[in-house]
Amino acid sequence: MSTRVDYIKASPECFQAMLALDSKLKSKLDHALFHLVKLRASQINGCAYCIDMHWKDARAGGETEQRLYGLAAWRESPYYTNAERAALEWTECLTRVEAKGAPDAAYDALRPHFNDAQIADLSWTIAAINAWNRMGIGFQPRPGVYQPPKHAH
């Protein structure tokens, strides 16, 4: 697989806008949850570059291998809090919107754990990672080359 258009160079303003959105969202959500959501959506979408990136970012931020390995089977794994489970279900709904929609039960499961602003920020995070995944799948940057920032946490 070869890289296609370098979308960063081809559209730097849009790339910078997406980075700014990510930076804002990262500051508003729990660090671990931010990376779990991004990694889970990337797994669903099959974006190799984003899976590599978000796995490394999560590890650099202190996430355990056990929780990362169990993420694809989070429903059957005991490693996640109820808040994380609600967020992961919401992530799957908004990522697989054509198959799942956004049912009331999934939304209602968020309410005990998150306020309105947090639900909105979580949803923006899910929307953003789905956009990044589409860029990664469409333009095929090479997985494995990304290195997390030194101070990822």
Say what the pLDDT of residue 5 is: 87
Q: Let me know: does 31 contact 61? Beta carbons within 8 Å.
A: yes
Sequence-ordered list of residues with C-beta below 8 angstroms from that of 112, at least 6 positions apart, any chain: 82, 86
Q: Let me know: does 83 contact 63? Beta carbons within 8 Å.
A: no
Say what the pLDDT of residue 59 is: 95
Domain boundaries, the chain: 31-139
Say what the pLDDT of residue 143 is: 83
Topology annotation, domain 31-139 = AhpD-like (1.20.1290)
Say what the pLDDT of residue 74 is: 97
Say what the pLDDT of residue 4 is: 80
- Summarised one tens digit per residue, pLDDT across range 94-103 is 999 999 899 9
CA distances from 53 to 83, 131, 132 (A): 24, 15, 11
Q: Which positions of the chain have pLDDT values less than 50? A: none
Helices (H), 12-115: 12-28, 31-45, 48-60, 65-69, 82-95, 97-100, 104-110
As a residue count, the chain comes to: 153
CA atoms within 13 A on the CB side of 136: 23
Say what the pLDDT of residue 151 is: 58
CA atoms within 13 A on the CB side of 106: 16
